[in-house]
Amino acid sequence: MVEIKQRSLEVNGLQMRVAEAGEGPLVVLLHGFPETWYSWRHQLAALAEAGFHAVAPNQRGYPGTDSPDDVADYNILHLVGDVIGLITALGEQTATVVGHDWGAPVAWHTALLRPDKVRGVAGLSVPPNRRGNSPTLAALRARFGPDYYQLYFQRPGIEAEFEADLDRTFRRLLVGVSGDSGQVRQLTVPAEGGFLGALPAPVELPAWLTEADIRTYAGSFTESGFTGPLNWYRNLDRNWALTAAWHGARITPPALVVVGDRDPIVAALDLDRLARSLRGFVPNLGDFTVLAGAGHWIQQERPDEVNAALVNFATATS
């Protein structure tokens, strides 16, 4: 059995909670919203067994890691800076960087802004996205309409919806956009019921998710709350402005994409066409893997397949 250890490190003046396992070349695993290092529990063990030092931080604003008060302190330059600072704090010069959900844009931007630090970059559920020609919120509104969830997350005070009943939050969210949900959910928020109200209460949990997992997530957010995680979304236009210098730049490190075809983030897209189009933006993109029947929480839903993909990728980039 591989032991997963936790500790706190000082990273860019923040106290950051990390979970880690194994020894060898460094692989950094970046969680998404609203998760923690725990979403990587299967991958930490698999990478350690394969001869890697796997490290999954709770990123800024998340449980056990400092949460700055200023919304602007959650912009993409700070998030990328935390990854670079973590690599340094661990005594390394480079890492293979892997991200899921919000962690994927952080991983892609780390490779874009600091390719000298990234041996390879992998994104789960969220493929790399070129910087647009107009501010992000306006672009989202034009493409998806005013009820798109990322626009809803801009509203002040919606933390209360997530924090009112943490068990309900994680039960509905983890099942509702998984491959086991029964349908691919639209990521829009109805006029009544809020974000969670659009997700049904599951009758039972799928095989990949246990009651203990729900308790672990809910317990982690009891003290930290959701303001820090939601502040990531509240920087979307700021991120667009801050990355103007990289408009048109390419992501050059070796890259991997893994998505599920029942993930609402990509389910409406022509994935073959997307994979072809990305190669001009990510010239060293290798595999673009689509897992049939998988939803958004891909590394938890399909750990064996994701583990194999990440071990092979980390081996090839080390």
With a pLDDT cut of 90, the percent of the chain lying above it is: 94
Question: What are the phi and psi torsion angles at 272 (to 5°)?
Answer: -65, -45
CB atoms within 10 A of CB 44: 25
Distance CA 9, CA 230 (A): 23
- What letter represents residue 244's amino acid? A
Is the per-residue pLDDT at 1 higher than 90? Answer: no
Per residue in 138-190, pLDDT (tens digit) is 999 999 999 999 999 999 999 999 999 999 999 999 999 999 988 888 789 98
Query: Over the stretch 121-142, which tens digit does the pLDDT of each residue have?
Result: 999 999 999 999 999 999 999 9
Number of folded domains that form the chain: 1
**CATH number of the domain residue 259 falls in:** 3.40.50.1820
* Owning domain of residue 24: 5-316
Residues 154 and 233: beta-carbon distance below 8 Å: yes
> Which residues are catalytically annotated?
101, 296
